[in-house]
Amino acid sequence: MNTKNKIQNTISFAALFLLAAYTLAPILIVFMNSFKGRFFISDAPFELPTSETFVGIKNYFSGIEKTGFIKAFGYSLFITVFSVATVVFFTSMTAWAITRVKSKLSSFIYYMLVFSMIIPFQMVMFTMSKMANILHLDNPLGIIVLYLGFGAGLSVFIFSGFVKSIPLEIEEAAMMDGCNPLQLYFLVVFPVLQPVTVTVAILNTMWIWNDYLLPYLVIGNNYKTIPIAVQYLQGGYGSRDMGAMMACLVMAIIPIIIFYFTSQKSIIKGVTAGAVKG
C-alpha cells in the first residue's frame, strides 16, 4: 500500500470515527445521566457520575413508577408489532400486484403512494385526528390502520424496487405447476422478499416505536405509549424529574437497539437488492 492510499485510509477512518462519535454521543450522555441525581444533571450533564452524584438504579424505579412504564411499554409493543406486521403484509402484496400488472390504474396507484411520501404530516394531522374519532379509530387497534396509511408510501416504494429484481420466470414456472395467485404469492414470492421485508420492518419499527405525535393526537391519555408517558414526567411550572426521564429514555432505546443490531445485515442486503433494477 503506497503512501497516498495510507493517507486516504487514515482520513476516511478519522472521518468515520468522528461521525460515529457524533452519533453515539447523545445516547451515551443519556445513559450516563440516568445514574445521576435529578439535581445534578442540569448542572453537569457531560460529567461522569461521582460518589456525590451517583444514585444507582434509583432513577429507573422512579421512572417506572411515575410514568406507568410497564403499561406504556405494553401499549407501545402491541401497536408497533401489529402495525409493522400489517404494513409489511399489505404493502408487499400491493407492490407485487402493481409491479406485475401493467396498467394505467396500477401506475396511478403507485405514483399516488409515492406522492404521499412528500406530504408533511402536519398538513393532515388535524383532519386525520377528527376522522379517526368519527370512525372510532382512536384506540390501539384503530391506530394500526392509520400507521398502515402513513407507512404505505415508502414501504410500497421499497418493495416495488425489489420485486422488479425477481426473475419473472420463477413465477411463470410456479403458475405452470398449478399455483393460483394466492399460492404464488405466499409460497413463491413472499419467501423471496425476505431481505427487503426485514428492511421495511426495521424502518417502520424504528418510526412507530419512537413516534410521539400520532399516538398523542389519536389515542392521547387513554392509551399512553412510551413517548407520551415520558412527556408526563414534566411537572408544574416546567419542573422535570430529569433522572427518571433519562432512565425511561434508556429503557425505551434498548429494545430498538437490540432489534436493529440483530437485523442490520438484512437492511443493507434488502436496500442493495432492491436497487438492482428500477
pLDDT digits (tens, 9 = 90+) for 50-77: 888 888 888 888 888 888 889 999 999 9
- Owning domain of residue 176: 60-274
Structural domain includes residue 38: no
Structural domain includes residue 51: no
Q: What is the pLDDT of residue 234?
A: 67
Q: Is pLDDT at 274 greater than 80 in this prediction?
A: no
**pLDDT > 70: what percent of the chain?**
92
Q: What is the pLDDT of residue 268?
A: 62
Q: Is pLDDT at 41 greater than 90 in this prediction?
A: no
pLDDT band at 273 (very low <50, low <70, confident <90, very high): low
What separation in angstroms does the CA of 210 have from each of 99, 136, 160, 169, 204? Answer: 31, 23, 26, 41, 10
Q: What is the pLDDT of residue 238?
A: 56
More confident residue, 132 or 44: 132
pLDDT digits (tens, 9 = 90+) for 220-243: 777 889 888 888 776 555 567 788
Angle at 76 between CA 71 and CA 79, to 5 degrees: 125
Q: How many CB atoms lie within 10 A of CB 190?
A: 16
Structural domain includes residue 262: yes
Q: What is the pLDDT of residue 78?
A: 95
Q: Are 204 and 128 in contact (CB under 8 A)?
A: no
Please state the pTM of the whole predicted model: 0.83
Q: Is pLDDT at 81 greater than 90 in this prediction?
A: yes
User: What distance separates the 2 farthest-apart alpha carbons in the chain?
Assistant: 75
Q: Is pLDDT at 191 greater than 70 in this prediction?
A: yes
Q: Is pLDDT at 125 greater than 90 in this prediction?
A: no
Structural domain includes residue 16: no
Structural domain includes residue 20: no
Name the residue with cell 422535570. 240
Q: What is the pLDDT of residue 168?
A: 83
Q: What is the pLDDT of residue 90?
A: 94
Phi/psi for 54 (5° steps) reads -75, 130
Q: DSSP of the chain, one letter per residue? A: --HHHHHHHHHHHHHHHHHHHHHHHHHHHHHHHTTB-HHHHTT-TTSPP-TTTB-TTHHHHHHHHHHTHHHHHHHHHHHHHHHHHHHHHHHHHHHHHHHHS-SHHHHHHHHHHHHHTTS-HHHHHHHHHHHHHHTT--STTHHHHHHHHHHHHHHHHHHHHHHTTS-HHHHHHHHHTT--HHHIIIIIIHHHTHHHHHHHHHHHHHHHHH--HHHHHHTTTTS--HHHHHHTTB-GGG-B-HHHHHHHHHHHHHHHHHHHHHHHHHHHHHHHHHTS--
Q: What is the pLDDT of residue 278?
A: 43
Q: What is the pLDDT of residue 276?
A: 47
pLDDT digits (tens, 9 = 90+) for 1-27: 567 778 888 888 889 889 988 888 888
Structural domain includes residue 53: no
Rounded Cα gap, residues 247 and 33, in angstroms: 8
Rounded Cα gap, residues 228 and 249, in angstroms: 12
Structural domain includes residue 194: yes
pLDDT digits (tens, 9 = 90+) for 129-155: 888 889 888 899 999 999 998 999 999
C-alpha cell at 262: 440483530
Mean pLDDT of the chain: 84
Structural domains in the chain (count)? 1
Q: What is the CATH number of the domain that holds 86?
A: 1.10.3720.10
Structural domain includes residue 49: no
